[in-house]
Amino acid sequence: MTDSKILVIGWDGATFDIIKPLVDAGRMPTMARLLAEGMHAPLNSTTPAVTPVAWSSFMTGVHPGSHGIFDAFRYDATHRTLRMVHAGMRTAPTIFKILDDRGRPSGALNIPMTWPPDKLTHGFVYTGMFTAGEAQDRVHPPELAAEVLRLTGTPALEPTSHADPSTYLQHILQNIHNQETLTRHMMQSRPWDLLTSVFIDSDRVQHYYWKYLDPSHPEHATLGDAIGQVYVALDAALGRLLAAAPEGTRLCMVSDHGAGPLHTTIFLNKWLMDQGFLVLKQDLHAVLAAGKHHQDPSPLKLLAKRLLPERLAGHIRRFIARGQQVMRDRFLELVDWERTTAISEGVSGGIYLNTAIMDQARRDEVERALIAELPRLVDPRTGERVITAVRRRAELFTGVAAEHAPDLLVACARGYQIIVPNELLRFNERFDGGLFLAHKWSGRHEQFGILVLHGPGVRHASLPQANIPDVAPTLLHLLGEAVPAHMEGRVLLEALEDGQAATIDTASAQATEGRQLSAEEEAAIARQLQDLGYL
């Protein structure tokens, strides 16, 4: 199988909850054929089911405790600061690097958490989400940048945000066209054995348009099919890419997580304050007041780029970046660390214990209290409990990087999500100090995404589930390659016709952490997440 090719198409956040009704309605003929002829399964995401965590497990074949990414942020308990995550923080190699070391060409297009890119000798990378906005090294080799701009008219395959939902929907549909154009060009112009292209558009439309699925929504008549339109466009693009692929190419369809409704966010730190676990030096509204002094710096940054010499513009960008880092750390600076035992940080409901003031016995006592009390939290508007589980780090994560995980991880009931502390700085006068808040999104991540395999050697089967670390070893096996011994996922032999046991490579080396980001680069990633609604 060494001469075989695999095309991997990622639909970020895609869910069979949307796909199968559209297939049944005859609106997704390409997916209908794949489901009828190939293998498919709900794909169990990582814990937490967050974009940078899950795509890292997809690329590395290991769980978060072994690759070191647990959130969009990494909390530094020693310095009490937040840092944006990036690919250089991972402690396991990607499938692209593994193949490159074996002399096999591969390509990675728009996959989140690929920046800074692997410097592949035999392949190419165009980095996706969590890339610093103006990064000069978002492509490898460097000459690929001009091709991307020529083919798509934009340096970033991200739909341009817009306040008008009809306009934003058109931007999403245009972005699908751009991604398809780049993918087809790279498929036909570069050598590859494994080509992975992630369409981010399914995630974006679900976050912002889920509310319109409700027939009672006043704009249901005009926007109720927005998600359906995007999936139909993705299906059509997929069909054209399959038609353009070399004969005998296998297909893998994958998503990093699923999607579902979001109607309420929980300010977890407010609960921690109310219960005495978290103490601030000032009133909570001081956080709000601080936010009013940190207005959006993007217009100033854009003006500096256009009008000033690069050296002076660079100084301004670095000044703005330092200000944005201060803003992200503002909540942490307000904490009274001598009286605080627990704090929540990050986008995924992580709780960190203040071990600097607690011995092990006190730490265990605080953990037990949080695990017992949080699941009793009730939304007074509905009478429903909003926290389904609070789990310890040791229950969820093992591996060389598990120390970077939060001490506890909170899981919310359907329709709820933890709000990021520094997100409150952008509420301005609308924030009333409450525990339950609205959010600009109406869709959230769910645990199960999708996995579809199709092509020579793939059985027609419907599996009960697969796990996202299983994808990388399965792809290597289909390429006739040995699976590195450090990979924790398994080859999905039940999906393959030959069922031959995987060959294990005990010599494959692990990756080590890469370079640290500058304040300017971190600010660029933070700005991107803010635009998307994560911050």
412 lies in a domain? yes
- Please report the pLDDT score of residue 395 as a whole number: 96
477 and 430, same structural domain? no
Question: 3-class SS at 307?
Answer: helix
Say if 382 falls within a structural domain: yes
Residues 95, 165 share a domain: yes
Q: What is the pLDDT along the chain (535 residues), one digit of tens a residue?
A: 445 899 999 999 999 999 999 999 999 999 999 999 999 999 999 999 999 999 999 999 999 999 999 999 999 888 888 888 999 999 999 999 999 999 999 999 999 999 999 999 999 999 999 888 665 688 999 989 989 999 998 888 999 999 999 999 999 999 999 999 999 999 999 999 999 999 999 999 999 999 999 999 999 999 999 999 999 999 999 999 999 999 999 999 999 999 999 999 999 999 999 999 999 998 776 556 555 544 444 444 444 455 555 455 444 444 444 444 545 667 888 899 999 999 999 888 999 999 999 999 999 999 999 999 999 999 999 999 999 999 999 999 999 999 999 999 999 999 999 987 766 665 544 566 789 998 889 999 999 999 999 999 999 999 999 999 999 999 999 999 999 999 999 999 999 998 777 788 877 555 555 556 666 666 666 666 655 555 5
Closest CA to 467 of 92, 15, 46: 46
Element (H, E) at 504: strand 504-505
Two structure tokens written together for 155: 């340096």
* Structural domain for 326, as ranges: 264-443
CA distance 285 to 98: 50
Q: Give the 3-state DSSP-derived string for 371-396, with helices as H, strands as E and coil as C.
A: HHHHHHCECCCCCCECEEEEEEHHHH
Please check whether residues 413 and 434 belong to one and the same domain: yes
Q: What pTM was estimated for this model as a whole?
A: 0.90
Same domain assignment for residues 75 and 160: yes
Provide the pLDDT for residue 332. 87
Length of the chain: 535
Distance CA 91, CA 71 (A): 15
CA distances to 56, 69, 374, 407, 504 from 404, in Å:
15, 8, 23, 9, 29
Q: For residue 466, give the CATH number of its domain.
A: 3.40.720.10
Taking the CA atoms of the chain, what radius of gyration do you get in angstroms?
23
SS3 498: coil
**Do the domain assignments include residue 298?**
yes
Q: Are residues 253 and 280 in the same domain?
A: no
Q: Same structural domain for residues 226 and 131?
A: yes
Give the burial class of 52: count Cβ atoms within 10 A of its Cβ; 0-12 exposed, 13-18 middle, 19 or more buried.
Answer: buried
Of 443, 464, 484, the position where a domain reaches its end is: 443
Residue at 1 is within a domain: no
Closest CA to 84 of 75, 95, 92: 75
Does 145 lie in the same domain as 37?
yes
pLDDT at 429: 45
> Where is the domain boundary, 443, 464, 487?
443
Give residue 302's pLDDT: 47
What's the rounded Cα separation, in Å, for the pair 501 and 357? 51
What is the DSSP pairing of strand 258-266 with strand 415-418?
parallel
Of 374, 409, 443, the residue at which a domain comes to its end is 443
Q: For the chain, first and last CA: distance in Å?
A: 45
377 and 346 belong to one structural domain: yes
Question: Which residues are registered as beta bridge partners of 412?
Answer: 387
CA–CA distance, 41 with 29 (Å, rounded to integer): 18
How far apart CA 222 and CA 224 sit, in angstroms, is: 6
CB neighbourhood size of 444 (10 A)? 24
Look at the chain and report how many structural domains it folds into: 2
Q: Largest Cα–Cα distance of the chain, in whole Å?
A: 66
- Is residue 347 a part of any domain in this protein? yes
The SS3 call for residue 1 is: coil
Predicted local distance difference test score (pLDDT) of residue 320: 41
Rounded Cα distance between 163 and 116, Å, is 31
* Gap between the Cα atoms of 252 and 254, Å rounded: 6
- Asked whether residue 123 is domain-assigned, the answer is yes
Q: Is residue 234 part of a domain?
A: yes
Q: Do 367 and 254 share a domain, yes or no? A: no
Residues 120 and 157 in one domain: yes
Is residue 193 domain-resident?
Answer: yes
Sign of the torsion formed by the C-alpha atoms of 240, 243, 244 and 249: positive
Residue 387 φ then ψ, to 5°: -115, 125
pLDDT for res 236: 98
Written as one string, the DSSP assignment of 466-496 is EEGGGHHHHHHHHTTPPEETT--S---GGGB
Q: What pLDDT score was predicted for residue 317?
A: 45
Contact present, 428 and 401 (Cβ < 8 Å): no
Whether residues 255 and 357 fall in one domain: no
The tokens for 124 are 């190419």
Same domain, 94 and 151: yes
